[in-house]
Amino acid sequence: MEDFTFEQIVSIANGYRTMARALNEFQVMHWPAFTHEQQLDLNAYQNSLLNRAQDLQSLAVRPAFNQAGEIAAAIRQATDDARAGLQHIHTITVALNIGAITVALAASVARANLRGIQTALRELGDLLALDKEEQE
């Protein structure tokens, strides 16, 4: 088992922060379409991602994995893909699901739950692929 390197921690934490920012931008762009409850959900997702980034960088959590480099790269790629997906998604429900799955991914990382990470990565990939198919 190996810990994430400092560079991996910074990269993952920055991915969480940029994802929180992307959720905020989506929220602002589609403000009138959201219900009050959906606004609260998005705010909770943003806060959770920012808190997970802080926990990771302050070393409040120290997840360790076999092949930590591969896992870190997959996490960062997933958050990058989710952020990019939010730029072209127009469906509120899909955006909320992307936010929720990204938060689940961050929670699984903090707990060093490899199975949870794999599930979140798969679900996020499936959701982004489904949205892409719908747009074509």
Residue pLDDT, tens place only, 39-79? 999 999 999 999 999 999 998 888 888 899 999 999 999 99
Task: Give residue 136's pLDDT.
Answer: 62
Q: What is the structure's pLDDT at 130?
A: 80
Task: Give me the chain's average pLDDT, please.
Answer: 93
Domain count, the chain: 1
pTM of the entire structure? 0.93
Compare 132 and 120 and report the one with higher pLDDT. Answer: 120
Domain that holds residue 32: 2-134
Quick one: pLDDT at residue 133? 67
In terms of Cα–Cα distance, which of 124, 19, 42, 109 is closest to 72?
109
Answer positive or negative: Cα dihedral of 95, 87, 27, 52: positive
**Contact in structure between 102 and 79 (CB atoms under 8 Å):** yes
* Residue 24 tokens, joined: 């905020």
Whole-number pLDDT of residue 103: 98
